[in-house]
Amino acid sequence: MKVLVVDDNKMERTLISMALKKNQYDIIEAVNGHEALAAINSHDISIVISDWVMPGMDGIELCRKIRLKKNRDGYVYIIMVTARSEKEDFMAGFEAGVDAYLYKPIDIKILDVHIKAGMRIIALEKELVQEKKKVSLYARQMEELARERAEQLVHADRMASLGIMAAGIAHEINNPATFISGNIQTFEKFWSVIMDTLDVTMKKKERFPVGEEQFKRVNFVIEEMPSIISAIKDGTQRIRRIVGGLKSYARQDKPSFALTDINKVVDDALLLCHNTLKNHVKTVIDIAPGLPRIFCDRHQIEQILVNLFNNAAYAMRIRVSGQGLLKISAFKDGESLKLTVEDNGTGLDSETLNKIWDPFYTTKPVGEGTGLGLSISQGIIKNHGGTLTAENSRNGGALFSITLPIGENI
């Protein structure tokens, strides 16, 4: 710690400096106020010991100028040496910024005590400065976080609106799908009548009023039409299943608990995620046979699985160069059913494992995730009397485990 000794009297200045050097202080000397200011500008001075009466610039003026310097990083503790004892003088000094007074003749032990008191004050002031910086940084971070959260809430609100729109869109799609389904069933019945007639006619080729090429075409239509009808029926049924899934997923109703087959929930969730998974993910389902049903809100559990499947698909897309692997397992674990979702994606680092259940926490780029899915999912599972945990799997990806009570043990 540097100590500046300011006195136009060489003998007094030297005596103070020599005494303080013995106590291991780093001493800088100045003969007047101007030299003292120059020293403060060029050195990191912590404590100033100044005589009051000096030519050119006295100690009080020096004190005022030190206090006016706003660009200093730390506090300067000022000890004024004087023989004055009038109250008005003391008040003038304190108003100028003096911290302590030392009477002449100087007692070095008392001076050392003043210096140590100044060191404590300087140390506390540095701590306050650091705390202020931390608070300022924290305030900036909170401001940025608030801005991000506001954007995410807007996004979440849009997603909620999208869910309502999905229900309406699903209804609109369902109408023409029902029309197609009804008509293809009618056509299938008519086709059997047409087939009976054509079958008889085709067997009597000589009576069939067409050429050889047309005969082959008609024969091809007869052979292919059953598979075409079947494909239309399957496609229509798939549309209706997707529409049903969208309507269920967009439901805003209160939880409705019922005994549920976990196989059906998994199948419906995979159907909703078909487009997300089909191109780069191989899905392996390992559900033990004969599992007892669980007492749950099927739509909410489906919502959780859709979220886990989509997260897994994203993690595998950014890590796996070839085909990703999504493994879904379910088995009985005591009085509970355990369902696991495992992928070979990026896995979960320590920060993610610590914050994964926090609302709005996400590792996805802005616009690709709200950070609400897992937080909501955990709340849903808790309301079901179960648990939802996350860890890294042995293959380096993520492993999510859900336990739910069997039957009506909720």
* Identity of the amino acid at 381: I
pLDDT higher than threshold 80 for residue 237: no
Rounded CA Rg of the chain = 42
> How buried is residue 293: exposed, middle or buried, by Cβ count under 10 Å (0-12/13-18/19+)?
middle
341 and 277 inside one domain: yes
Which residues 6+ apart lie within 8 Å of 61 measured at CB?
33, 96
Instruction: Among 75, 106, 137, give the residue marking a domain's end.
Output: 106
Q: Is residue 330 part of a domain?
A: yes
Instruction: Among 207, 222, 250, give the residue marking a domain's end.
Output: 250
| Predicted confidence (pLDDT) per residue in 143-188, tens digit | 887 777 776 666 565 556 556 566 667 667 777 888 888 888 888 8
Instruction: Among 232, 250, 268, give the residue marking a domain's end.
Output: 250
218 and 320 inside one domain: no
pLDDT higher than threshold 90 for residue 230: no
Whether the predicted model's global pTM rises above the 0.85 cut: no
Angle made by CA atoms 52, 57, 63, in degrees to the nearest 5 = 60
193 and 276 inside one domain: no
Q: Is residue 127 part of a domain?
A: no
137, two tokens:
């940084």
Counted domains in the chain? 3
Q: Are the CB atoms for 9 and 51 separated by under 8 Å?
A: yes
Q: How far apart are CA 354 and CA 384, in angstroms?
A: 23
Q: Is residue 143 part of a domain?
A: no
Q: How far apart are CA 299 and CA 239, in angstroms?
A: 19
- pLDDT more than 90, % of the chain: 33
278 and 165 inside one domain: no
Can you give the residue range of the structural domain that contains 240?
155-250
Which residues 6+ apart lie within 8 Å of 201 measured at CB?
207, 208
Name the pLDDT band for 6 (thresholds 50, 70, 90).
very high
